[in-house]
Amino acid sequence: MHQELIVASSYSKNFGLYNERVGACTLVAANEETVDRAFSQMKSVIRANYSNPPAHGASVVATILSNDALRAIWEQELNDMRQRIQRMRLLFVNTLAEKGADRDFSFIIKQNGMFSFSGLTKEQVLRLREEFGVYAVASGRVNVAGMTPDNMAPLCEAIVAVL
């Protein structure tokens, strides 16, 4: 069983702090010697990349998380956004089926987060961009948070057209 773990987490999206470089690097190790060696390597990488991180975003996060009222508001907003994204996933899958998609996209409902892997190929993504002005990453990753009930039908019609 592994006894070491390094987790890099970002707070850019879930706190709306884009361009603030807010995050954490968590290191877990079995003993102090391993921690010291790993931390020394982490410091070298940090110094080579940015030396001193900006403090503004971290201060905003600390303020929100240390104040019960602000934290409760943030947690409610986060929950509201999570539910909205899940509704968009469901609407996306249902609208694709309604528009005649010849494959099952229900796996998208089980995914989490602001983005989803759609299963579209690089060629299909290119056609979406060139023929319909719909942008996705070449891997087929789509921005679920950018979907709305108003743009769902044209989005799904475009996807069905390139399948």
Q: Taking the domains of the chain in order of start, what are their residue ranges?
A: 5-66, 81-162
Please give the C-alpha separations between residue 26 and each of 3, 10, 42, 113, in angstroms, as whole numbers: 14, 11, 11, 21
Handedness of CA 42, 44, 47, 52 (dihedral sign): positive
**58 pLDDT band (50/70/90 cuts)?**
confident
| 2-32 tens-digit pLDDT | 788 889 888 887 788 877 878 888 999 989 9
Q: Tell me the pLDDT of the chain averaged across its residues.
A: 92
Fold annotation for 81-162: Aspartate Aminotransferase, domain 1 (3.90.1150)
Residue 132 confidence (pLDDT): 96
Question: What is the average pLDDT across 100-117?
Answer: 95
CA trace torsion 19, 21, 22, 25 (10° rounding): 160
Give the residue with greater pLDDT, 11 vs 121: 121
Instruction: Give the burial class of 113: count Cβ atoms within 10 A of its Cβ; 0-12 exposed, 13-18 middle, 19 or more buried.
Output: exposed
Integer angstrom CA distances of residue 159 from 17, 51, 71: 31, 44, 39
% of the chain at pLDDT higher than 70: 100
Beta bridge partners of 133: none
